[in-house]
Amino acid sequence: MKVCVIGLGYVGLPTALLAARNHEVVGVDVDESKVDALDRGEPPLEEPALVDLFHEVEGRFEARTDVVPADAFVIVTPTPLDADTEVADLAAVRAAAEAVEPVLTRDDLVVVESTVPPGTTERLVGRILERSGLERGAFSLAHCPERAIPGDTLNEMVGNARLLGAIDDRSAERAADLYSFVEGDLHRTTPRGAEFVKLMENTYRDVNIALANEFAKIAEELGVDVHRSVDLANEHPRVDVHRPGPGVGGHCITIDPQFLAQSSTHDRLISQARAINDSMAKHVLGLVQGAVGEVPDRDPRVTLLGVAYKGDVGDTRETPARPIARLARNVGFDVRAYDPHVESDADLPVELDSLETATAGSDCLVVVTDHSAFANLDSESLATRMRSPTVVDARAVVDRSRWEAAGFEVVVLGDGSN
Ligand SMILES: NC(=O)C1=CN([C@@H]2O[C@H](COP(=O)(O)OP(=O)(O)OC[C@H]3O[C@@H](n4cnc5c(N)ncnc54)[C@H](O)[C@@H]3O)[C@@H](O)[C@H]2O)C=CC1
Ligand SMILES: CC(=O)N[C@@H]1[C@@H](OP(=O)(O)OP(=O)(O)OC[C@H]2O[C@@H](n3ccc(=O)[nH]c3=O)[C@H](O)[C@@H]2O)O[C@H](C(=O)O)[C@@H](O)[C@@H]1O
């Protein structure tokens, strides 16, 4: 079938390329520079396996800025949180549905793949499509959310089980054909059911991380090491505590729980977990202030190691580095930053430098991101470059004994044992 994928971002582009293994695919994005890059054969993709896939499907994938008639449409546009109202901003999903409506014909399939609050597929997208004069059922409609983890997108898109939240049997059959690249099981449910399950999954992770972060703060008070404690607790066959850190980032886990909270009067734990995770930036700053103390002569200098929201990716959306940098600047720190996966980011309140420049004369390093490269940093040369060799490790990635031997004072978030 001919498939039109609308939104060529972290999820839409890999989805379009995978679908192009079995179908003719047109990828649509409002960002002309993205479409131009794809036309030039330069896909904006971080994972090497995805670049290979781009070349594999050449001839079956084309990028455009306008929606064209097709047999199936997949909406994968962003669903951020509206900053003023704290509810889902569905403008891009609405715009995509409005772009499909004029070209929609009988028997076409429309899939919402964006993560959305329960009810959105049928109430918002379905109603816009009905303006075409076609009744629901004359066209197929489904919500098939994505579960892939950034960093291993291709393997997860293919291997993970997938939800098919279809309005009827025909919609489910056609969606199964569209997603024939998926090797995991396809589970049939309703659109609202799929919307709810997707949000439950990310909420579970956010709440679990909040619990780990609360354990970390308690461990600091009690004088024990939370990281070793989590390892030991997870030896229990029915316990799976997540990892504490400087806060939860990314476009999904920071946002999706709020789509559930906004949909119910019963939210208690979900909002509390969000607040705990958001409080971690302040907690990290407290650790930095405790470690650095009073600095004579000039503003104390702090260097953020990592601005990406998590390890080994270059994505900075909702990164905890942002509040940490802002809070540090507010209390008078000169803030520098280095990230091996991020060259520049205009949305960050701090410029990115090379490791050498960012750490020169620094009073404190703060490990914000768990990039694998940080486990192998040369602590001895860092110690000689800094004014006072101190590190606050919010991810438990540095080797304490090696860094202490190099002359560092080492503070690990959640480790009260030292
Ligand atoms: N990033 C991830 O790992 C995952 C994201 N999701 C969900 O998938 C959806 C998309 O997320 P990402 O791919 O990360 O977003 P993104 O921001 O990387 O990409 C979205 C793309 O849509 C384009 N766009 C915006 N409005 C458009 C319109 N009206 N017509 C055509 N293109 C338009 C943007 O220019 C951008 O290229 C969101 O709902 C997100 O919650 C779900 C699972 C995983
Ligand atoms: C339930 C689940 O694992 N969801 C995944 C998640 O991807 P994402 O990269 O946002 O999640 P993540 O790896 O948990 O990272 C989110 C944030 O949480 C932090 N984090 C994560 C795990 C942990 O134990 N402790 C912790 O502090 C990370 O450092 C990061 O800042 O959200 C994606 C999405 O829905 O967009 C989803 O497709 C992915 O499968």
pLDDT value at position 96? 98
Three-class SS state of 340: coil
- Intra-chain end-to-end CA distance of the chain, in Å: 62
pLDDT value at position 296? 64
**303 Cβ contact partners less than 8 Å away, ≥ 6 residues apart:** 335, 336, 337, 338, 358, 359, 362, 364, 365, 366
Q: Atom 37 of ligand 1 has which residue's CA nearest to it? A: 9
Query: Domain 2-189 is of which CATH architecture?
Result: 3-Layer(aba) Sandwich (3.40)
pLDDT value at position 368? 98
Lookup: tokens for 93: 């999903």
Eight-state DSSP code of residue 407: T
Is residue 115 in contact with ligand 1, taking CB distance under 6 Å?
yes
What's the CA-to-centroid distance between 248 and ligand 2, angstroms? 8
Instruction: Classify domain 190-418 by CATH number.
Output: 3.40.50.720
Q: What's this model's pTM, rounded to 2 decimal places?
A: 0.96
Closest ligand to Cα 35: 1
Tens place of pLDDT per residue across the chain (418 aa) = 999 999 999 999 999 999 999 999 999 999 999 999 999 999 988 888 999 999 999 999 999 999 999 999 999 999 999 989 989 999 999 999 999 999 999 999 999 999 999 999 999 999 999 999 999 999 999 999 999 998 899 999 999 999 999 999 999 999 999 999 999 999 999 999 999 999 999 999 999 999 999 999 999 999 999 999 999 999 999 999 999 999 999 999 999 999 999 989 999 999 999 999 999 999 999 999 999 987 666 789 999 999 999 999 999 999 999 999 999 999 999 999 999 999 999 999 999 999 999 999 999 999 999 999 999 999 999 999 999 999 999 999 999 999 999 999 999 999 999 7
**b/e burial code for range 256-279 (CB count within 10 A of at least 16 → b):** bbbbbbbbeeebeebeebbebbbb
Q: Atom 39 of ligand 1 has which residue's CA nearest to it? A: 114
Residue 178 phi, psi (nearest 5): -55, -45
Lookup: tokens for 14: 């890999």
Lookup: tokens for 22: 């079995």
- Which residues does the annotation mark as catalytic? 198, 252
Report CA-CA distances (Å) from 307 to 49, 106, 414: 24, 48, 20
CA pair distance 254, 407, nearest whole angstrom:
37
Given this chain, do its domains 2-189 and 190-418 carry the same CATH topology? yes
Is residue 6 in contact with ligand 1, taking CB distance under 6 Å?
yes
pLDDT value at position 370? 98
User: H or E element: which one contains 219?
Assistant: helix 191-222
Domain ranges of the chain: 2-189, 190-418
pLDDT value at position 325? 98
pLDDT value at position 208? 98
pLDDT value at position 390? 97
What's the CA-to-centroid distance between 369 and ligand 2, angstroms? 13
pLDDT value at position 88? 96
What's the CA-to-centroid distance between 335 and ligand 1, angstroms? 31
Phi-psi region of 31 (alpha: psi -120 to 50; beta: other; left: phi over 0): beta
